[in-house]
Amino acid sequence: MTDLNPSKKRKRPSLGKQIVFVLLYKVFWRMVFGLVIGLKYIRQDKASLDGPVIYVANHNSHLDAMALMTVVPCARIHLTHSVAAQDFFGSGFKRWGMLHLVNAVLISRSRKENGEDPIEQLDAMLVAGRSLILFPEGTRGVPGSMGDFKRGVGHLASRHPGIPVVPIYLDGLYRNLPKGRSMIVPFGGTLVVGKPLVFSNESVDEITNVTQVAVETMAHELKNANRLT
C-alpha cells in the first residue's frame, strides 16, 4: 500500500489516471447506474467543491462506492478515495480491484497491534489534499435500514475545520446487488447529495451526530416524497 506519510514526497497522480477515472465513472458507471439500473440522482446543492471533501453515506451494497464516485467532480475524481476494510478487501483480486479500479484506501477497522491508528492514515490523506468517501456505519448493514455512525467522521472533521462534509443518502442499491450475489439486477434506486456541512470547533460527538441526522433527514424526506407520488 502507498505510504501516506505527508512528510514524504509523493508522486502527483498523472493526467492519464484522471482521464481513466473520468471515463470509468463519468461515462461507464454513470451509464450503468442511469440506464441499466435506473438510479435517480438528486442534488440539494449544485455548488462544485474544488478542494478536499469528506463524503459520508449510508452503506448497504458493494455498489455504493462506485455510485458515490459518479458524483465526484471530474477535476477531483482521481484524488478521491473510498475507505474500505483491510480485512475484507485486503487480498487477491478484491484488493487489486479496490486499489486500482475504485481508488480505495484499505484500513484496519480498529487500532493495529503496533499502535497505528487508522484515523492517522486518513488524516494524512486530507493533509495531502485528497478527498475521502466514508461509510460511518462501518459495514454493510441490514438492507433498507441505517445503523449508528461510528466516530471516525467526527475525528477527521474536527482535525480539519473548514473541510466540507457532504452527506449522501443511498436508497435501493441493496436490491440491485444483494449481499452474497455477484450479478447486478435493474431495480432502480435513488442517490441524494445533501448540502455540505462545515464544522469549526464542534466536538467529535457533535460532528458525528449532526452528520448522521443529515443523512437520516434525507432518508425521511425521500420516503415522504415517494408516498406522495
User: Measured between alpha carbons, how far apart are the two ends of the chain, in Å?
Assistant: 48
- What is the residue extent of each domain of the chain? 15-228
Judge whether residue 216 has pLDDT over 60: yes
Cα–Cα distance, 227 to 229 (Å, whole number): 6
- Tell me the average pLDDT across 187-195: 93
Q: How many CA atoms lie within 13 A of 99 on its CB side?
A: 13
Contact indicator for 78, 102 with CB cutoff of 8 Å? no
Beta bridge partners of 83: 105
Contact indicator for 101, 77 with CB cutoff of 8 Å? no
Cα–Cα distance, 16 to 38 (Å, whole number): 30
pLDDT at 4: 44
Q: Convert the pLDDT of each residue in 9-22 to its tens digit.
A: 445 558 889 999 99
Residue written as cell 480485512?
A: 87
User: Can you tell me whether residue 154 is helix, strand or coil?
Assistant: helix
Closest C-alpha among 61, 76, 93, 89 to residue 26? 76
Closest C-alpha among 188, 194, 154 to residue 174? 188
Percent residues over pLDDT 70 in the chain: 82
Q: Convert the pLDDT of each residue in 125-168 to its tens digit.
A: 999 999 999 999 876 566 667 889 999 999 999 999 999 999 99
pLDDT at 75: 94
**Radius of gyration of the chain measured on its C-alpha atoms:** 17
- At a CB cut-off of 8 Å and minimum separation 6, what does 140 contact? 59, 60, 61, 62, 174, 179
Residue type, 151: R
Q: Convert the pLDDT of each residue in 57-109 to its tens digit.
A: 998 888 899 999 999 999 999 999 999 877 666 668 778 888 888 898 988 76
Judge whether residue 46 has pLDDT over 50: yes
- Phi-psi map region of 38: left, alpha, beta (phi>0 left; psi -120 to 50 alpha): left
Judge whether residue 5 has pLDDT over 50: no
> CATH: 3.10.180.10, 3.40.980.10, 3.40.50.300, 3.40.1130.10. Which one for 15-228?
3.40.1130.10
131 phi/psi in degrees, rounded to 5: -105, 155
Q: To the nearest whole number, what is the mean pLDDT of the chain?
A: 85
- At a CB cut-off of 8 Å and minimum separation 6, what does 27 contact? none
Q: Convert the pLDDT of each residue in 102-115 to its tens digit.
A: 898 988 766 654 55
Q: Are strands 54-57 and 165-171 parallel, antiparallel or unpaired?
A: parallel
